[in-house]
A and B are shown apart, each in its own frame.
Chain A
Amino acid sequence: DTAVSQTPKYLVTQMGNDKSIKCEQNLGHDTMYWYKQDSKKFLKIMFSYNNKELIINETVPNRFSPKSPDKAHLNLHINSLELGDSAVYFCASSLAGGGRFHEQFFGPGTRLTVL
């Protein structure tokens, strides 16, 4: 029944490591997103992606890269993790169209802690 799922729910790792967070949606949506929520609860979009277009927030370091094996999955790969990467990462999905974002459905979040 889960609409948007993420794994893992918690991720604790050392600085410098490379890690991935997986996201899957079963809503039939064709656009998926990654958001970062910092300790002050501020939400920032990192990427939006459908099978035609990847839109990258220009403030996102290139250590972060989305990888989509198919339109139901959008994984987030992070290289050379830094302390400042500690946050909760949310995946979301929506219908696409007309260059607009539309109502989004969020996953449960992955709490990343970099030591």
Chain B
Amino acid sequence: ELKVEQNPLFLSMQEGKNYTIYCNYSTTSDRLYWYRQDPGKSLESLFVLLSNGAVKQEGRLMASLDTKARLSTLHITAAVHDLSATYFCAVDPGNDMRFGAGTRLTVKP
């Protein structure tokens, strides 16, 4: 069974700091997605990673994919309060779509 594990599940960090969220998955896949969800809101697509070694950056967020290690990372640089949200990774190995449990990020002044 496909398992997708994110860690940490809860992350409280100060503005200006850097941190990385990890997403491990249990089966072969060359596609991985990162989504953001604000409280009480829908999910917003952040990154689509479609091959081994893919790296994408948007503002203070950078995502990467290592399909051999079955690992994706979401790196946060110089966090700001507006980044506070829940971040989900999702894996699509074909005919299935599995989300991680989400990382609830709180950025404090």
Chain A residues engaging chain B, CB cutoff 8 angstroms:
33, 40-45, 48, 55, 90, 92, 99-109
Q: Does B31 lie within 8 Å of A90, measured CB to CB?
A: no
Q: How far is the CA of A19 from the CA of B36 in the complex (A)?
A: 29
B43 CB contact (under 8 Å) in A42, A48, A55, A106: A106
Other than the known A101-B96, A103-B45, A108-B42, what 7 A-B pairs have Cβ atoms closer than 8 Å? A40-B101, A41-B86, A45-B98, A55-B95, A100-B31, A103-B48, A104-B33
Q: Does B88 lie within 8 Å of A43, measured CB to CB?
A: yes
Q: How far is the CA of A104 from the CA of B97 in the complex (A)?
A: 11
Q: What are 22 A-to-B residue pairs whose CB atoms are below 8 Å?
A: A33-B97, A41-B101, A42-B99, A42-B101, A42-B102, A43-B88, A43-B99, A43-B102, A44-B99, A45-B97, A48-B97, A55-B95, A99-B94, A100-B92, A101-B96, A101-B97, A102-B92, A104-B33, A106-B35, A108-B41, A108-B42, A109-B41
Q: How far is the CA of A107 from the CA of B98 in the complex (A)?
A: 18
Taking the closest CB of chain A, its distance from the CB of B31, in whole angstroms, is 6
Give the interface SS of chain A, mostly helix, strand, loop or mixed.
Answer: loop
Chain B residues engaging chain A, CB cutoff 8 angstroms:
31, 33, 35, 37, 41-45, 48, 86, 88, 92, 94-99, 101-102, 104
**Which residues of chain A are near B92, meaning CB under 8 Å?**
100-102
Q: How far is the CA of A97 from the CA of B91 in the complex (A)?
A: 16
**Which residues of chain A are near B104, meaning CB under 8 Å?**
41
**Which residues of chain A are near B98, meaning CB under 8 Å?**
45
